[in-house]
Amino acid sequence: MKKFRMLFIVLLCLLVTAACSSGGTNGNTANSGNNSGNASGDVVTLKFMGWEASPLETEAVKKGLEKFMQQNPDIKVDYQPVPGAQYAQKLLTMLAGNAAPDVFFLGATEYRSFQNRGVLLDLTTMFESQMSLDEFIPSSAQIMEINGKIYGVSSCTVSPVLYYNKDVFDKANIPYPPSDPANAWTWDEFREAAKQLTVTEGDKIAQYGAFGFENFYMTTAEIFSNGGQLFNEDGTQMKINSPQAQEVLQSILDLRVVDGTSPTAKTLESIGMRANQMLQTGKVAMVVDGSWALQELATMGFPVGVAALPKFEDAKTHGQAHVHSASANTKHPEEAWKLLQFLSSEEYQIGLISEGLWMPNRKSLYTEEGIQKWYNESVHPEGFRELVSFFENAEPYPFTLITQNKVNDIITEETDKLWYSGQSVADTLANIESRSNVELAK
Amino acid sequence: MKVEKRLSGSGAKMRGPAPAPGRTSAIKNMFHKDGTWAFLLLLPNIIGFLAFTLIPVIASFFLSFTSWDMLSPMKWVGLSNYVELLNDETFIKVFWNTIYFAGISVPAGIVVSLFLAVALDQNIRFKKFYRAAYFLPVVSSMVAVAVVWQFIYNPEYGLLNYFLSFIGITGPNWLTSTVWAMPAVILTTIWKNLGFNMLIFLAGLQGISDSYYEAADIDGARWHHKFLLITVPLLSPTTFFVTVMSFIGSFQVFDTVFLMTQGGPARSTSVIVHYLYENAFKYFNMGYASAMAYILFFMVFVITLIQFWRQKKWGVN
C-alpha cells in the first residue's frame, strides 16, 4: 500500500513542479524580452494577433512579417493566429485581462464598438505625420475615421460582386454580364438571364440561374443600388423602411418564389456546397459573393467571370475590410506604429491583391500604372480592369459605422421570416426598423 | 502491513539507534490519516472546481446585478437586468423554445431508449453489436453529427425526404422552415443521446431479479403485463435518474442548435443558452447574460425539486 502511496505522491509532485516550471519559463522569456527592449533598446518584442481567414492569408502574413523584421532588426514580431470564429471574444477577454497583444487585426464591424470602450491606441498624430486619409478610397477612409481621429489603419477592401461560369453562358448562348459598372445589367436583364439559365430535368431543377442575394451582405448592395439607405447619416437611426428597399427585397424574393430561378441557401449549403462549388459544378450559373472568393475560384479549373452587380438605379456595391489596430496599453507605441505602417504598405498588400483575395484600399493602386502593379492574368479574369472602379467607388459597408451589432441579428431574424415563412416585405422592413431603433437608442 | 513493518524496520536500522522520534511520527501520522491523503489526491480537482466552477458561479451571480461589457467599469444596476429580461420579447421567445425543446425531447427520448433497452436485454443475436451501434452517436463528435444530419434534412438531396417520398409525402425544407426546424433539431438530439439513456436503462434492467418474471410466467402473465407491472415500477429509480439528467441536459442545450441552425430561421430554434451566448460574446452584455444564466438555473432547480417530490410520492429510494 505504502509503495503505491509514495508513487502517487511522487507523480503528483512531478506534475505540480512540471506545471510550475513551464509556467515560470514562459514568464521569464516574456519578461526578458520586455526588459531588454526597455533598458538597452536592443530588441522589442511585439505581440501581434490575427485570424486565419485562409491558409494563403496566414502564409502571406508570416512572409510579410519576416520582411518587416529584416527591415527593423530591433523589432521582433510574435505572431499569434486565432481561429476566426472566436476572434472577437478572445481579443476582448485578453483586453479585459490586461494581456492584450500590442497590435491586432480588428473586424471593421467591431472597430467602432471597441473604440467606444477606449481600448484602441489613438494613432492620429503618427498617422497624420506619414499618411493622409486622402490616399485611401472613400469607403476605407470613412471607416477608419472616427470623429476626426484614427484608431486603426485599413488593410484592404472587399466587396460583393457577381461571379459566373462562362461555360454555362456559352452553352446557353447568352452574352456575359458586363464587367464595366457603367454598362451593368439592369435588374430586369439579370432576371431574364436567370430565367433562361435555369434548366429543369423532369420535375427537378438541374441548374439554377442565380444564387446569393438573400444573404443580407449582398442585399445591402442592391438597396444602395436602388438609392435606398440602411441608416441615417450618423448611424443613430435605422432608415431602411423605404419604397426603394421594399422593391429590392421583393425582387430578390421573386427570383426564388415566383421565377424559381434561385435555390434556398440550405439546399446547396447543407450538402456541403459553397458558392464557388455551385459555380464550378454548374449547379448555379451566377453567384453573388464577396470579392475575396476570386482567390479560390481562380484555382478551380473552370472559366470564371466577374461582373458588376445588376443595378436598380446605379450600379453600386459596398466595401469594408479589417483594420490593424494597437492596444491603448501597449508599452511600445512607436514600434507598434512601425508595424501598422508596414501592414498598410503597398509592398505588403500587393501579394494578397494579386492572388485575388484582397482589393487595394489606396487610390494610387487604381490608376493605370497602379493596376499594373497587382494585376495578375492567371487570377483576374478578362474585363476585370473595367470592374475596378466598382471597388474604388464603393459605399462604406453600413454595419461598420454603427456600434450595436445586435442590429445585424435582428435583420437576420426578420429577413428569415421574409425568406422562409411568408412575412410580407412591408412588415419585415417595418419590424427591422422599429426593433433596431430600440437597440440603437440604447 | 507486512511491507510497512519491514520498511520501517530497515529505516530504523539505517538511521541508527537514535532516530528523532517526534518528527518521524508526525509525518508518519499525517500519511496515515486517510483524510489528508484523500484531500491531497483530490487537490488538483478541488482547485479546478474552485477556479473554474465555484468562483465563476458566485461571480456571475453578482454580475447579474450589474451592467458590464468586460472593458468599461462595472455599473451596479440592481434588479433591472431581470426586469428587462421579463420584457424582452426575444428572451420570452427563447424561453418557450427551451420549454418546447425539453418538453418533447426528454419524454420522447426516455420512451424510445427504454423500449430499446428492453429489446436489447432479450436474448437476441448480435445484441452486443446493436448496443455498440446505438451507443456510437453518444461518443461521436457533435460537429460530425450536425453535418450528417444537415445532409439528411436536405430538402432535395436528403435521405429523410427521399424516404418520405415513398409514402407519397413531399417533405418540408426542414432546417429553413420556422415550423419544422425545431422538430428536426429535437430528432437529432434524441438520436444522439439515445445510446446513453439506453445504457443506463440496461444497467437498471440487469438489477431486476429474474425470479419476478418467472413467477409472472407461472401466473400466466402476458408480455405487456410483465413490462407494465414488473419492469416499469422496478426501473423507476433508473427512470428518475435518467429524467433528471435529461431535463438538465436539455435545458442547457447549445451545441446542436449552434451547429445545425445557429438559432434560426427567425430564432425558431434559438434556446436560452444560445441567446445567453450571443449576449455575452456577441453583444458583450455580461450582466444581462448572467441574469439569464440565473433564470435558467432557477428553472432547472424547480424542475429537479418537483422531480424529487414526485420521487418521494412514488416511494422510490
Tell me what pLDDT residue A205 has.
85
Residue B75 lies in a domain: no
Cα-only R_g, chain A:
25
The parent domain of residue B225 ranges over: 81-314
Identify whether residues B203 and B151 lie together within a single domain.
Answer: yes
- Quote the minimal CA–CA distance from A414 to chain B in Å: 6
Task: Return the residue in B87, B154, B165, B278 with the most chain A beta carbons within 10 A, the one to mutate for interface testing.
Answer: B154
Q: Which three cell numbers stand for residue B168?
A: 407519397
In one-letter notation, the amino acid at residue B90 is T
Secondary structure letter of residue B172 according to DSSP: -
Q: Residue A75: phi, psi to the nearest 5?
A: -120, 130
What's the mean per-residue pLDDT of chain B? 85
Identify whether residues B51 and B137 lie together within a single domain.
Answer: no
Residue B2 lies in a domain: no
Identify whether residues B256 and B150 lie together within a single domain.
Answer: yes
Identify whether residues B37 and B139 lie together within a single domain.
Answer: no
pLDDT average, residue stretch B87-109: 94
Q: Give 10-residue mean pLDDT values along chain A (442 residues).
A: 48 43 37 40 87 78 90 92 84 88 93 90 93 93 94 94 95 94 95 94 87 93 95 90 96 93 76 79 92 90 94 94 94 93 89 90 93 92 92 94 88 91 93 93 84
Task: Name the β-bridge partners of A396.
Answer: A319
Residue B86 lies in a domain: yes
Cα-Cα end-to-end distance for chain A: 65
Q: Does A41 touch chain B (CB under 8 A)?
A: no
Task: Return the residue in A92, A274, A325, A409 with the most chain B beta carbons within 10 A, the one to mutate for interface testing.
Answer: A409
Residue B6 lies in a domain: no
Cα-only R_g, chain B:
27
- Quote the minimal CA–CA distance from B49 to chain A in Å: 17
Range B51-60, long-range pairs (CB < 8 A, 24+ positions): B60/B290, B60/B293, B60/B294
Q: Which three cell numbers stand for residue B143?
A: 460537429
Identify whether residues B105 and B183 lie together within a single domain.
Answer: yes
Please tell me whether residue A158 adopts helix, strand or coil conformation: strand
Domain count, chain B: 2
pLDDT of residue B15 exceeding 70: no
Select from B32, B63, B94 the last residue of a domain. B63
pLDDT digits (tens, 9 = 90+) for B247-283: 999 999 999 999 998 887 889 999 999 999 999 888 8
Peptide bond into B265 cis (omega under 30): yes
Chain A residues near residue B153 by CB distance under 8 angstroms = 270
Task: Name the β-bridge partners of A75.
Answer: A44
pTM for the complete prediction? 0.81
Identify whether residues B139 and B53 lie together within a single domain.
Answer: no
Range B248-253, long-range pairs (CB < 8 A, 24+ positions): B248/B300, B248/B303, B248/B304, B249/B193, B250/B101, B250/B102, B250/B105, B250/B106, B250/B189, B251/B98, B251/B102, B251/B296, B251/B299, B251/B300, B251/B303, B252/B296, B252/B300, B253/B98, B253/B101, B253/B189
Whether residues B40 and A3 touch (CB distance < 8 A) is answered with no
Whether residues A5 and B37 touch (CB distance < 8 A) is answered with yes
Confidence class of residue B22 from pLDDT cuts 50, 70 and 90? low
CA pair distance A121, A125, nearest whole angstrom: 11
- Residues with Cβ within 8 Å of B109's Cβ and at least 6 positions away in sequence, in order, are B189, B190, B193, B194, B197, B246
Confidence class of residue B168 from pLDDT cuts 50, 70 and 90? confident
Whether residues A421 and B179 touch (CB distance < 8 A) is answered with yes
Tell me what pLDDT residue B1 has.
38
Identify whether residues B158 and B270 lie together within a single domain.
Answer: yes
Q: What is the CATH number of the domain that holds B142?
A: 1.10.3720.10
CA pair distance B118, B123, nearest whole angstrom: 11
Q: Does A405 touch chain B (CB under 8 A)?
A: yes
pLDDT digits (tens, 9 = 90+) for B105-162: 999 999 999 999 998 888 888 888 988 899 999 999 999 999 899 889 988 778 898 8
E strand map for B109-191: none
Among A341, A310, A309, residue whose Cα is nearest residue A326? A341
Q: By CA distance, what is A95's nearest residue in B?
A: B71
Chain A residues near residue B44 by CB distance under 8 angstroms = 12, 15
Please tell me whether residue A13 adopts helix, strand or coil conformation: helix
E strand map for A268-357: 284-290, 304-307, 318-319, 323-326
Tell me what pLDDT residue B23 has.
56
Give chain A's length. 442
Identify whether residues B52 and B135 lie together within a single domain.
Answer: no
Please tell me whether residue A286 adopts helix, strand or coil conformation: strand
CA pair distance A367, A432, nearest whole angstrom: 40
**B29 vs A388, more confident:** A388
Identify whether residues B179 and B59 lie together within a single domain.
Answer: no
A50, containing H or E segment? strand A44-51
Tell me what pLDDT residue A15 has.
44
pLDDT of residue B24 exceeding 80: no
CA pair distance B49, B27, nearest whole angstrom: 28
Q: Does A15 touch chain B (CB under 8 A)?
A: yes
Whether residues B44 and A12 touch (CB distance < 8 A) is answered with yes
Q: Residue A157: phi, psi to the nearest 5?
A: -145, 150
Whether residues A416 and B266 touch (CB distance < 8 A) is answered with yes
Q: Does A204 touch chain B (CB under 8 A)?
A: yes
Whether residues B151 and A272 touch (CB distance < 8 A) is answered with yes
CA pair distance B166, B152, nearest whole angstrom: 15
**Domains delineated in chain A:** 45-158+320-393 (3.40.190.10), 160-316+404-440 (3.40.190.10)
Yes or no: say if A229 and A240 are a contact pair by the CB < 8 Å rule: yes
Identify whether residues B215 and B248 lie together within a single domain.
Answer: yes
Q: Does A424 touch chain B (CB under 8 A)?
A: no
Identify whether residues B164 and B249 lie together within a single domain.
Answer: yes
Residue B239 lies in a domain: yes
Among A77, A52, A54, residue whose Cα is nearest residue A66? A77
Among A256, A310, A311, A312, residue whose Cα is nearest residue A284? A256
Tell me what pLDDT residue B310 has.
78
Q: Which of B3, B44, B267 is facing A2, going by the closest CB pair?
A: B3
Identify whether residues B55 and B150 lie together within a single domain.
Answer: no
